[in-house]
Amino acid sequence: MEEFLYTGVDLWKQTPVVMQSHVCQSMPGLISYQQESNRWQCVFDVILNISLLTEPNAVANLTLVSRNTTSVTLRWDRPLDHKSEYRYRVETNGDPPSNIIVPHEYITVAQLNAGTKYNFSVFTLTGDNTSADPTTVSLTTEPNAVANLTLVNRNTTSVTLRWDRPLDHKSEYRYRVETNGDPPSNMIVPHEYITVPQLKAGTKYNFSVFTLTGDNTSADPTTVSLTTEPNAVANLTLVNRNTTSVTLRWDRPLDHKSEYRYRVETNGDPPSNIIVPHEYITVAQLKAGAKYNFSVFTLTADNTSADPTTVSLTTERVESYICSMLVSSLSLVMEEFLYTGVDLWKQTPVVMQSHVCQSMPGENS
């Protein structure tokens, strides 16, 4: 090939290299060369001019700005050596993963799954894509909220609630139940129901249920407003009655509030429902001699009702007489005749003086 094959020594790597004579002789920095058999040994300096960029500094204060069930928004501080050409690569490890490059110090990572944990890493990038060490944060997206928060039962001191699991339910999910009122409370339960005790009678509360993930990331609340039952009235008493009406009175409940009213339910013929603001009532348009059950319910401002206090009473009867003179038993008593009448209600004879019988409307004899 009309050229000798030479062997050189690469002083950078300190390893022999094989090259042809014109290559060896034309390289800058040749120190010496000598023949060895049919080869030439070339010794030379290799001066390498390598241009390299150092890594940029990492970002600082990688912080959560906001999150919901499908996205996370992050922000961070510029690196100390910030230059105008710097950009940032945001790597998301989770389901689904992603890689996004942005020119500014914030990002919203979208299309995530609810209640799922992700690692977010931010890398500073130079103009030629030299990367800094990552700054990383682990975050969980919000779980979905519970549905159908429903009242199961209530009394004067407690409320029982139930709800449906969120759509993205996982076995590690729990629920925080926050009670806003007097007194307030916070309780965490592993199941979809709760009884909140130690409440006050006739008091309005807001009950909020939050889904919690394994690391206590919270869903938006599902809230319901409810009032505990007020106390029942006491000492329901008959004041007066006649053939067509009954007047009742009662004592205020122990937890009386200015907005309380009372519903008076009459069971009988005819029935009725009357709401009054005071502790007494006259129930009218009743039938003579008829039995009725009168129930009084305390009502709160939102019409939450107490247990009833009940009394059974009968209206007065109407008496009607046919008077007849009993000639065989005629006698003079204090200058008046003694007469015998018949009580048509009881169908039994009654005895009265003549002036009573004669003065009655509808007298026949």
Q: Dihedrals φ, ψ of 77, to 5°?
A: -90, 150
Q: Specify the pLDDT at position 319.
A: 77
Q: Is the pLDDT of residue 142 over 90?
A: yes
Tell whether 34 and 74 lie within a shared domain: no
The predicted model gives 101-129 an average pLDDT of 98
Q: Is the pLDDT of residue 212 over 80?
A: yes
Q: Specify the pLDDT at position 133.
A: 97
pLDDT band at 51 (very low <50, low <70, confident <90, very high): low
Tell whether 331 and 348 lie within a shared domain: yes
Q: Which two tokens stand for residue 212?
A: 């919690």
Q: Specify the pLDDT at position 24.
A: 55
Q: Is the pLDDT of residue 364 over 50?
A: no
Q: Specify the pLDDT at position 162.
A: 98
pLDDT band at 232 (very low <50, low <70, confident <90, very high): very high
pLDDT band at 321 (very low <50, low <70, confident <90, very high): low
DSSP tag of 350: E
Nearest Cα neighbor of 340 from 238, 98, 330, 164 is 330
Q: Is the pLDDT of residue 34 over 70?
A: no
Domain assignment present for residue 252? The answer is: yes
The predicted model gives 131-159 an average pLDDT of 98
Domain assignment present for residue 206? The answer is: yes
- Percent pLDDT > 90 in the chain is 72
Domain assignment present for residue 130? The answer is: yes
Cβ atoms within 10 Å, residue 28: 8
Beta bridge partners of residue 185, listed in sequence order: 179
- Who has greater pLDDT, 19 or 225? 225
Domain assignment present for residue 52? The answer is: no
Q: Is the pLDDT of residue 33 over 90?
A: no
Tell whether 170 and 115 lie within a shared domain: no
Strands of 114-260 (E only): list them.
117-125, 135-140, 147-154, 159-164, 174-180, 185-189, 193-196, 204-212, 222-227, 234-241, 246-251
Q: Specify the pLDDT at position 54.
A: 86
Tell whether 134 and 64 lie within a shared domain: yes
Number of domains in the chain: 5
Q: Specify the pLDDT at position 82.
A: 95
Domain assignment present for residue 188? The answer is: yes
Tell whether 92 and 163 lie within a shared domain: no
Among 45-59, 137-151, 313-327, 345-359, whose mean pLDDT is lowest?
345-359
Q: Specify the pLDDT at position 355.
A: 47
User: What range does the domain containing 67 cover?
Assistant: 60-140
Convert the pLDDT of each residue in 326-348 to its tens digit: 444 444 333 343 444 444 444 44
pLDDT band at 365 (very low <50, low <70, confident <90, very high): very low
Show which of 105, 140, 175 is a domain's final residue.
Answer: 140
Q: Is the pLDDT of residue 167 over 90?
A: yes
Show which of 294, 314, 334 is a domain's final residue.
Answer: 314
CATH code at position 96: 2.60.40.10
Cβ atoms of 118 and 93 closer than 8 Å: yes
Show which of 140, 174, 193 is a domain's final residue.
Answer: 140
Tell whether 341 and 287 lie within a shared domain: no
Q: What is the mean pLDDT of the chain?
A: 84
Q: Specify the pLDDT at position 21.
A: 52
Convert the pLDDT of each residue in 260-288 to its tens digit: 999 999 999 999 999 999 999 999 999 99
pLDDT band at 118 (very low <50, low <70, confident <90, very high): very high
Angle of CA points 135, 139, 145, to nearest 5°: 160
Q: Is the pLDDT of residue 101 over 60?
A: yes
Convert the pLDDT of each residue in 189-205 to its tens digit: 999 999 999 999 999 99
Tell whether 342 and 295 lie within a shared domain: no
Strands 39-44 and 5-10: parallel
Beta bridge partners of residue 100, listed in sequence order: 90
pTM over 0.85: no
Domain assignment present for residue 51? The answer is: no
Cβ atoms of 294 and 310 closer than 8 Å: yes
- Who has greater pLDDT, 330 or 246? 246
Tell whether 351 and 302 lie within a shared domain: no
Tell whether 117 and 159 lie within a shared domain: no
CA distance 185 to 200: 13
DSSP states along 82-149: --TT-EEEEEEESSS-EEEEESSSEEEE-SPPTT-EEEEEEEEE-TT--BPPPEEEEEEPPPPPPEEE
Q: Dihedrals φ, ψ of 26, to 5°?
A: -90, -5
Sign of the CA dihedral with 322 first, then 328, 334, and 336 last: positive
DSSP tag of 176: E
DSSP states along 26-59: HSTTEEEEEEETTEEEEEE--------PPPPPPP
Q: Is the pLDDT of residue 362 over 60?
A: no
Domain assignment present for residue 243? The answer is: yes
CA distance 262 to 253: 10
Tell whether 262 and 297 lie within a shared domain: yes
- Who has greater pLDDT, 1 or 299? 299
CA distance 159 to 152: 8
Q: Specify the pLDDT at position 331.
A: 43
